[in-house]
């Protein structure tokens, strides 16, 4: 397969502690959400086949997008108070004592939030709010909604007792939405008057590549066709990670993560 798994490419692109944490977290997520579910659930891709409506950046399109993501993540959208806010903020105090969790967007000198998760409100619904400017970018919008909905799967369904943003990012991979979050992790901005980059989420670019490689390995997809949906930089990290995994199958999911070392 074009040297994908050649010995020259068997060095892991992420550090050992991060690799071991990710593999252990992945196993835990599979135990929580079901091995058969992971192996058989179709992935979502940025095509009209999976989002069969004309996206126009309106609140209506936003809700339609949220319905698809909620179904993919096995969440009843009626259990969510889903809305938009106009200004990204660093901290919001809830009248009901709920703690806020944010997903930063670092495409500015002062990082701003992209989405907010509050937990359940007084009506029993989960409060989830998305920064309005994200409606301009449908792929980024999917990634943000998926991350905030992942808080519901972990915190809202009481699978964890404390917030872990990296685990929340990884959860999107388990539900087949990782292509969106990975692609938005790092974007280069190049046009006639602008040079720079934007970032989204908590896992780093190479970590997304490894997470998706673990996902493909677990699903026994040696050369998945969905790789062409990845941006070039994520695709490169995915291939390097896959090369490492298939060159070290005796280690994958077998070594124990020890945060003290």
**Beta-ladder partners of 108:** none
Our measurement of the distance from residue 218's CA atom to the centroid of its chain's CA atoms, rounded to an integer in Å, reads 17
Which residue bears the tokens 């095509």?
47
pLDDT higher than 70, residue 198? no
Per-residue pLDDT at 98 exceeds 50? no
- Tens of pLDDT, residue by residue over 245-258, are 999 999 999 877 66
pLDDT of 218: 95
Residue 67 CB: number of other CB atoms within 10 A? 13
The mean pLDDT of 106-131, rounded to a whole number, is: 80
Domain map of the chain by residue range?
7-247
pLDDT at 193: 43
């Amino acid at each position: 397969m074009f040297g994908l798994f050649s010995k020259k490419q068997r060095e892991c692109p992420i550090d050992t502690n991060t690799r071991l944490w990710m593999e252990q977290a992945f196993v835990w997520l599979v135990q929580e959400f079901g091995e058969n579910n992971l192996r058989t659930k179709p992935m979502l891709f940025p095509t009209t086949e999976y989002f069969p409506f004309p996206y126009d950046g309106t609140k209506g399109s936003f809700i339609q997008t949220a319905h698809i993501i909620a179904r993919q993540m096995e969440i009843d959208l009626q259990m969510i108070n889903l809305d938009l806010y106009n200004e990204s903020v660093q901290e919001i105090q809830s009248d009901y004592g709920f703690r806020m969790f944010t997903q930063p967007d670092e495409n500015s000198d002062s990082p701003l939030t992209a989405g907010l998760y509050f937990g359940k409100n007084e009506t029993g619904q989960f409060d989830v709010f998305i920064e309005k400017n994200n409606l301009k970018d449908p792929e980024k919008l999917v990634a943000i909604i998926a991350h905030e909905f992942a808080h519901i799967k972990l915190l809202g369904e009481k699978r964890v007792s404390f917030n872990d943003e990296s685990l929340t990012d990884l959860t999107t991979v388990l539900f087949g939405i990782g292509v969106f979050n990975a692609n938005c992790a790092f974007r280069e901005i190049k046009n006639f008057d602008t040079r720079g980059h934007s970032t989204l989420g908590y896992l780093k670019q190479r970590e997304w590549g490894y997470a998706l490689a673990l996902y493909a390995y677990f699903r026994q997809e040696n050369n998945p066709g969905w790789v062409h949906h990845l941006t070039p930089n994520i695709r490169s990290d995915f291939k390097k990670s896959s090369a490492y995994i298939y060159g070290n199958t005796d280690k994958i999911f077998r070594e124990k993560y020890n945060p003290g070392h």
